[in-house]
Amino acid sequence: MTSFEGRIQESRFSYTFFYDFTIVINALDNVEARYHVNRMCFNLGIPLIEAGTKGYSASMTPILKG
């Protein structure tokens, strides 16, 4: 497993970066970053799992193109 550190909106996290993934699980902390990941996954047809927490509650939403 490889980890990456930085802002997801950086140019190194473009379509080329996302292309090799078969699924993405997103638990980012701001809307701008979530939109970026959503756009990348949607345009490449990669299933996206949006995850988040609020206090002791958690949620997950699958997002699939089509």
Distances (CA, A) of 37 to 17, 46, 66: 11, 10, 17
Residue 1 has pLDDT above 80, yes or no: no
pLDDT of residue 3: 86
CA geometry: angle at 26 spanning 52 and 6, to 5°? 110
Average pLDDT of the chain, as a whole number = 92
Q: In this predicted structure, what is the pLDDT of residue 7?
A: 92
With a pLDDT cut of 90, the percent of the chain lying above it is 74
pTM score, whole prediction: 0.83
pLDDT tens string 11-40 = 999 999 999 999 999 988 899 999 999 999
